[in-house]
Amino acid sequence: MARIYARTKGRSGSKKVVRNKIPEWQTMKKKDVEKKVLELRKEGISKPEIGTILRDSHGVPSIRLTAGKKLQAILEENNMKEDYPEELMNLFKKAINLRKHLNKNKKDLHNQRALQLTESKIRRLGKYYIREKKLPKKWKYKPAEVELLVR
């Protein structure tokens, strides 16, 4: 599928190994994985980092395969759900950093365009998440409020 603004197609990359059952060499059990996920989340570690830590340090190739549910489902069951989806938060951070840069470098036209594209993506995702009921109906993207939210 082509990109919206870049006129390029997606890049190929490495694919995850297809697994249907838990490997014999894995030592962690379902309850241990869930405990570790909750413990890492309480420390403030993001979801992708949790997966990487469990994979690299604890030998868990797939949280979903081991626990029988996705990482997000584990967090929701234990009332650790985030207010905003992670994808949206990352875009908020990107937009804030671009705004800071543009305050110092007013004539940087390339990054002005990058900010426009980022904020456009935030608004599109916002509409999607409102439709999916992950954001309130009256939610609007306001850069000043988002900056306070991210801090």
Mean pLDDT of 74-96: 91
Among 77, 105, 133, identify where a domain stops: 77
Q: What is the pLDDT of residues 120-149, one digit of tens each?
A: 999 999 999 999 999 999 999 999 998 888
Residue 2, SS3 per DSSP: strand
Mean pLDDT of the chain: 90
133: left (phi over 0), alpha (psi -120 to 50) or beta: left
Q: How many separate domains does the chain show? A: 2
Sign of CA dihedral 8, 1, 87, 99: positive
Pairwise CA distance, residues 75 & 98, whole Å: 31
Residue 115 located in a structural domain: yes
Confidence (pTM):
0.74
Same domain, 96 and 142: yes
Residue 22 located in a structural domain: no
Residue 62 located in a structural domain: yes
Asked if the model's pLDDT at residue 12 lies above 90, the reply is no
Burial 87-98 (b: 16+ CB within 10 A, else e): ebbebbebbbeb
Asked if the model's pLDDT at residue 28 lies above 70, the reply is yes
Residue 54 located in a structural domain: yes
Pairwise CA distance, residues 149 & 135, whole Å: 14
Pairwise CA distance, residues 127 & 4, whole Å: 17
Percent of the chain with pLDDT over 70: 99
Same domain, 110 and 144: yes
Asked if the model's pLDDT at residue 54 lies above 60, the reply is yes
Among 60, 77, 94, identify where a domain stops: 77
- Residue 36 belongs to what domain range? 30-77
Residue 10 located in a structural domain: no
Residue whose pair of structure tokens reads 């109906």 in the numeric block: 137
Mean pLDDT of 54-77: 91
Residue 7 located in a structural domain: no
Asked if the model's pLDDT at residue 1 lies above 70, the reply is no
For residue 2, the model assigns a pLDDT of 64
Same domain, 99 and 129: yes
Residue 11 located in a structural domain: no
Residue 145 located in a structural domain: yes
